[in-house]
């Protein structure tokens, strides 16, 4: 950011960004409009904006409704103080200045500039993370997105198989397995499966390292039963859809495998990785994602509230008079919330007190999502303490802490072990 010169005027900037052009508004310290103009969403347009801002005495801050567009990165490289504004918040600001409901790009930029000049002390400026953490966070986010795409493709694949080829599901019910995808490519319809020689199927199973247990031998012997299912109209179209899903899944899995190697490459040298890998259920996918989240925020500040709020784990408390309601926090980082919910559910498999806590929440009437949120909240407090002390997770030590505080989780754990 430009250094403020003695006696110079201060300015605040609002940018309503777009794919083709950006509306820029500049106000002074008294919130008086200085100028408004449009710049193209090109490199030349960004340079023009940079020259205009450089000619001002002191630009105190820039409000913009994104932190991912090229104009954001350009201004960040010029070391301006940037304030990413949630579009829902800027809409409330715009509605608060007029009841007419007028919306234009120029007006949106002016509202951003004026409200930033008035509320900048209440807003949080963008804090740039170190390059390694930024890359790790981006890789983990894209991995989560690709996993979601894989899940959607698996659902489409199952739907197609149920429609015209149910016998294939007798062989492979886990449709996330690359071996299952290879099977569907090799035997793409009931006719191909039924007419295949026994030795052909056995060779396929051996090539994919599947042991010839009695169950598999029975499936091979009953392969002709694939033709007993009723023939459906449009079977050829369903077969093509199935093969298209398989081809996409194979290509997608190759990129996921490459992403996993990149994530390991970036996560391995970080000190937090060694600590967080000791958590039960934090495998090669969730562990680096937790590390990226922890390094992106100051988990020690304000009792870890920043991470709890950004991840959506901290609920929203609404109270007015005698009425009080606690609800889920929806304005948060959805990928972070998903990661913490997945970790909480995974920890219930590997950690005895986590399973006891989850069961206790369910007995008290909480649904699955609420129980996972509460369990994730407890894990965040543990992670905060681990980062503060630099110590690895000790399950027995935490169980003894539950015992010392007479926690109902410990009573539940003892009752379960006694049973």
C-alpha of 220 from chain center: 42
Question: Which CATH fold topology does 10-119 show?
Answer: Nucleotidyltransferase; domain 5 (3.30.420)
Question: What confidence tier does 303 reach under pLDDT thresholds 50, 70, 90?
Answer: low
- The domain 134-265 having CATH identifier 1.10.287.4070: the answer here is yes
Which of residues 300 and 16 earns the better pLDDT score? 16
Whether the CB-CB separation of 68 and 51 falls below 8 Å is answered with: no
- Contact between residue 317 and residue 401 where contact means Cβ atoms under 8 Å apart: no
CA 312 – CA 372 distance, rounded (Å)? 12
Residue 357 CA to residue 368 CA, distance in Å, equals 12
Those residues whose C-beta lies under 8 Å from the C-beta of residue 9, and which sit 6 or more positions away, are: 28, 29, 56, 57, 58
Reduced to 3 states, what is the DSSP secondary structure of residue 375?
helix
Of 266, 241, 243, the residue nearest 142 (C-alpha): 266
Which residue did the predictor score with more confidence, 200 or 319?
A: 200
Distance CA 126, CA 76 (A): 9
- DSSP structure class, residue 406: T
Convert the pLDDT of each residue in 339-362 to its tens digit. Answer: 999 999 999 999 999 999 999 999
Question: Which contiguous run of DSSP H or E holds residue 399?
Answer: helix 395-404
- What angle is formed at CA 290 by the lines to CA 150 and CA 176, rounded to 5 degrees? 20
Provide mean pLDDT across the span 40-57.
Answer: 94
Alpha carbons 86 and 82: distance in angstroms, whole number:
13
pLDDT computed for residue 3 by the predictor: 39
How wide is the angle at C-alpha 185 spanned by C-alphas 179 and 189, nearest 5°?
A: 120
Cα separation, 54 vs 74, whole angstroms: 13
pLDDT at 254 over 90: yes
Distance between alpha carbon 14 and the CA centroid of its chain, in Å? 29
> According to the model, what pLDDT value does residue 5 have?
43
Q: What is the DSSP string of 253-292?
A: HHHHHHHHHHHHHHHTTSHHHHHHTTSTT--TTHHHHHHH
User: For position 418, what pLDDT does the model report?
Assistant: 59
Residues near 267 by beta carbon (within 8 Å), at least 6 away in sequence: 136, 273, 287, 288, 291, 292
Q: Where are the domains of the chain?
A: 10-119, 134-265, 285-313+329-418
Cα–Cα distance for residue pair 43/48, rounded to 1 Å? 9
Q: Contact, 80 vs 1, CB < 8 A?
A: yes
For residues 5 and 15, what is the distance between their CA atoms, to the nearest angstrom?
A: 24
Q: What is the pLDDT of residue 77?
A: 93
219's CB contacts (< 8 A; 6+ apart) are 170, 171
What pLDDT does 2 receive? 39
């Amino acid at each position: 950011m430009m250094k403020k010169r003695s006696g110079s005027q201060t300015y605040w900037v609002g940018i309503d960004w777009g794919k083709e052009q950006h509306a820029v508004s500049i106000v002074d310290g008294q919130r008086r409009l200085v100028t408004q103009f449009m710049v193209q969403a090109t490199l030349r347009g960004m340079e023009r904006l940079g020259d205009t801002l450089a000619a001002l005495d002191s630009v105190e801050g820039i409000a913009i409704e994104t932190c991912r567009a090229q104009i954001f990165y350009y201004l960040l490289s010029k070391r301006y103080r940037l304030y990413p504004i949630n579009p829902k918040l800027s809409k409330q600001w715009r509605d608060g200045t007029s009841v007419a409901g007028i919306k234009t790009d120029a007006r949106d930029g002016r509202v951003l500039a004026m409200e930033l000049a008035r509320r900048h002390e209440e807003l949080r400026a963008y804090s740039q993370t170190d390059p390694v953490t930024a890359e790790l966070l981006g890789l983990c986010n894209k991995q989560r997105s690709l996993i979601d795409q894989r899940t959607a493709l698996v659902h489409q694949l199952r739907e197609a198989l149920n429609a015209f080829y149910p016998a294939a599901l007798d062989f492979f019910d886990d449709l996330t397995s690359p071996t299952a995808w290879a099977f569907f490519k090799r035997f793409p319809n009931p006719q191909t499966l039924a007419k295949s020689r026994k030795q052909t199927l056995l060779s396929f199973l051996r090539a994919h390292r599947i042991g010839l247990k009695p169950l598999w031998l029975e499936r091979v012997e009953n392969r002709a039963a694939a033709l007993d299912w009723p023939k459906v109209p449009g079977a050829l179209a369903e077969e093509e859809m199935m093969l298209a899903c398989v081809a996409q899944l194979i290509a997608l899995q190759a990129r996921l495998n490459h992403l996993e190697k990149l994530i390991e490459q970036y996560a391995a040298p970080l000190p937090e990785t060694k600590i967080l890998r000791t958590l039960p259920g934090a495998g090669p996918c969730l562990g680096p994602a937790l590390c990226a989240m922890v390094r992106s925020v100051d988990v020690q500040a304000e009792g870890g509230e920043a991470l709890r709020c950004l991840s959506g784990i901290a609920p929203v408390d609404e109270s007015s008079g005698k009425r009080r309601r606690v609800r889920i926090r929806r304005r948060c980082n959805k990928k972070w919330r998903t990661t913490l919910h997945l970790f909480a559910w995974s920890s219930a498999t590997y950690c005895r007190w986590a399973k006891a806590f989850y069961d206790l929440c369910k007995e008290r009437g909480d649904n699955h999502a609420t129980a996972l949120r509460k369990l994730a909240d407890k894990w965040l407090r543990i992670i905060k303490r681990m980062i503060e002390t630099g110590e690895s997770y000790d399950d027995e030590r935490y169980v003894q802490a539950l015992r010392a505080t007479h926690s109902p989780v410990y009573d539940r754990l003892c009752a379960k072990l006694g049973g």
